[in-house]
Every structure is written in C-alpha cells, then in structure tokens.
Amino acid sequence: MARTIGSHGPKTMEAIRKAGLRLIFEHGYAAMSLRQLAAEVGIQSGSLYNHISTKQELLFELIRDHINELLRQLDRALQGQERPADKLRAFTAFHVSYHMTRKREVFIANSELRSLEPKNYEEIVALRGAYERRLAEILSQGVAEGEFEVVDVQVATFAILALLTGLTTWYRPGGRLTKEAIVAAHEKLVLSSVAPGTTPNQAQAKRPLSRSAATSAKPERR
C-alpha cells in the first residue's frame, strides 16, 4: 500500500480507522497486530502512538462511534413521526438501510463485544441499551394506544432487532431484490408481527371441537 503522507493529522487517523476496521473484520481483533495495522496504513509502528495508545482503544472507539452514529441517524429518521405505526415503520426502514451499508461496523460491534475490557464493555452496553429503548418505547406507545398487540415488550424488542440485523448475514448488493424491496419486506414482517389480532389461546378456544374431542370433553356419568 502507498505510504501515507506524514504520521500526524486527521487524514492519517482516518486511514488508521479504516484499515483497523477492515483488518478486524477480516482477521478478528485478537489476530490483528499494531505492526500489521501500521504496515497497512504505510507508517512506522511507533507513529501509531501519535493517534492511538492501544489496540483496545481503537476497537472501543470504532464500536462507540458506530453506535453513536446509529443513535444520531435514528433520532433524525424518527423526527416528525407521531403514530406508533409510523414510528415503527421509520425505525425498520432506517435500521435495514443502515445495516445494508455498514456491514463491517455491525459485525465488529456484535462479534467483538467480548473483546472489550470491562469499563469499555459497560459503556458500549449502555449505548446499545439506549438504542434498544428507542424501539421498546415505540412498542410500548403502540400497546398503550391500542395500535399494537405485544405479549412482552422486551421480548418483542429483542426479536425485532434480531430479525432486522439478521440481513447482514445474507444481504449482497446487486442481488435479486432491490434495496427498496428488501426494506418493504421487513416493514411488512415487523408491522404484521405486532398488529392486533386473535392470540393463539383465543384462536384455540374458538376453534370448533372435532367429533372425537367433543365426545371426550363430555362430563362422565356418575
């Protein structure tokens, strides 16, 4: 790779972050060395310390900045939305669109969480919790206003996030479906999953008994 001009300044830091993101994504945090990172950027190993003090600091900042950007863009996507259904649709569209273009950041934020030191881990988990609460608040509002039917808000929050984030494992640009079609499909899945309707227990109660079931359900003669 061509040598970066100079070992100071924002351009070099940006090159370090991009190279670090790619190397951690491709090789894993534990396998990546600072010597390897410096070589990728095109500077001496010692020059890295003008920008980062440790490999742990780089990982922490990559994950922290990713989640902060996620929160910032989500709040912007939700602006002006009042009805819970509109908020949930906006949340879904944003989450899916963002994760289509940030595969490396998403992968590292999920898979390398275990590599963070305790203090850094706690801060990242708190930020993740703030993002999860955005969705939980939308679902809670929808339940309170009668737009959604949710058995448990926390379970629904985790289930929806797992569904939406799962596309990072299979989405490839230029595939059979357009980005718009993929977003629309996820919107339909999420909105239909919380739409008011008959619960399984109610459905079972209303289902007509079969002849054999009706016979066995009769009280015994005494």
pLDDT per position as a tens digit, 58-83: 999 999 999 999 999 999 999 999 99
Task: Enumerate residues 6+ apart whose C-beta is below 8 A from 18.
Answer: none
d(CA 140, CA 130) in angstroms, rounded, equals 15
3-state secondary structure of 97: helix
Q: Tell me, yes or no, whether 218 lies in a domain.
A: no
Does 4 score more than 90 pLDDT? no
82 and 171 in one domain?
yes
Total domains present in the chain: 2
Does 86 score more than 70 pLDDT? yes
Whole-structure pTM value: 0.79
Q: Tell me, yes or no, whether 148 lies in a domain.
A: yes
Print the domain residue range for 64: 56-196
Q: Tell me, yes or no, whether 211 lies in a domain.
A: no
Burial of 130 (0-12, 13-18, 19+ CB in 10 A): middle
Please give the average per-residue pLDDT across 96-118, as a whole number: 92
115 and 96 in one domain?
yes
70 and 127 in one domain?
yes
